Amino acid sequence: MLRYQIVTNSLSFICGFSTSCVLLLVSTPFLAPSECSVGIRPVSVSNLSDADPLLALSDERLIIFPLKDSDIWAFYKQQEASFWTAEEIDLSHDAHDWETKLTDSERSFFSMILAFFASADSILPEARFFYGFQAAMENIHSEVYSSLIETVISDPLERDRLLHGIAEFPSVAAKAKWAFKWIKSSAPFPQRLVAFAAIEGIFFSRSFAAIYWIKKRGILPGLCFSNELICRDEGLHTEFACPLYNKLKSQLAPCDIVSILTEACDIEKAFWTDIMPATMAGMNVSMMSDYIEFVTDRLLVTLNVGKVYNTSNPFPFMEMISLKGKTNFFERRNAEYSLPGVRQQRANLKKM
């Protein structure tokens, strides 16, 4: 029963939360940091162009062309090429697999993950295009996770409880509280951008690892296929946040980046300590903690900060995420699908 609650709680968190994060990140005034740590001093909005030209508003940029940042624009075109809809996910086999092919412990575990997801998925012109499309994609993620809960959870009271995971489960609430602490604050834009990368790159991807683990058993095809698509989307969101941050002139001190990411790492490890069942072949709390540290280190390196944990990847199967996917016997469309014309346009932009 516990594992059943774990998956659905994870889904409910993601459904409502990601969209809110995107909109708050883009709509909050862009402020620049000064030096280090707790005493970060924002500059006034009137001095933005002096502090960081990338964040400065300009009447000359009310239209998108001619592009001034083709690589940022290319991220938007990549996301556009990867567009998909909730109707493409076939959930017809998942309810049967859920009831007959998972143990009670496994159902509780994946219920909590689904509850987290369901609750959580709720600049310069080129970047605004990307974030606008990201908000639309997060809405689709939210719809899919809610549909998964509706499909596999037959008890309406339990379903409602899982869809309100932030209120029901302290470990889910802790992740939401941390994220909103940064996204809703008046912290400088670079600081919020790093926190946003932590939300996408640390909070979300660990739950994806658990669902990739279940895929090896050849069950829950709708959950597994939607997980591949959403994991690809969230990976792109993290991938975009890092180069955007690296383009900023006003950046955080390395100690601030380490503080934000290691704090997120600790919260994520506590979440998995709380929800992880003792008996799962090939996955346990210690391995998941190592994986969270491994991913945190990778994000630190991407942000031009050295590793903190130096932990190796305990889950080789997660390398599947970065490889070209292959359609298997129960997936009707390859998760690497994208619109070919738009993808070619992105390739052309790279040559510019």
Does a structural domain hold residue 351? no
Does a structural domain hold residue 50? no
| Rg, Å, the chain Cα set | 20
- State whether residue 249 is helix, strand or coil: coil
Alpha-carbon distance 200 to 295, whole Å? 11
Alpha-carbon distance 236 to 76, whole Å? 10
- Give pairs for 254-258: CB < 8 Å, separation 24+: 254/305, 254/306, 255/36, 255/37, 256/33, 256/36, 256/37, 256/40, 256/191, 256/194, 257/194, 257/300, 257/303, 257/305, 258/300, 258/305, 258/308
Would you say the pTM of this structure is higher than 0.75?
no
Structural domain of 261: 2-29+71-337
User: What is the chain's mean pLDDT, rounded?
Assistant: 72
243 cis-preceded (ω within 30 degrees of 0)? no
Residue 298: per-residue pLDDT: 94
- The amino acid sitting at 269 is K
pLDDT in tens, 257-281: 999 999 999 999 998 888 887 767 7
Does a structural domain hold residue 350? no
Number of domains in the chain: 1
Does a structural domain hold residue 347? no
Catalytic residues: 145
Match 């670079």 to its residue by tokens: 190
Alpha-carbon distance 310 to 296, whole Å? 10
Does a structural domain hold residue 349? no
CATH code, domain carrying 260: 1.10.620.20
pLDDT in tens, 192-238: 889 888 988 898 766 777 777 788 888 899 988 888 888 888 778 78
Which carries the bigger pLDDT value, residue 127 or residue 140? Answer: 140
Residue 27: per-residue pLDDT: 47
Alpha-carbon distance 64 to 124, whole Å? 10
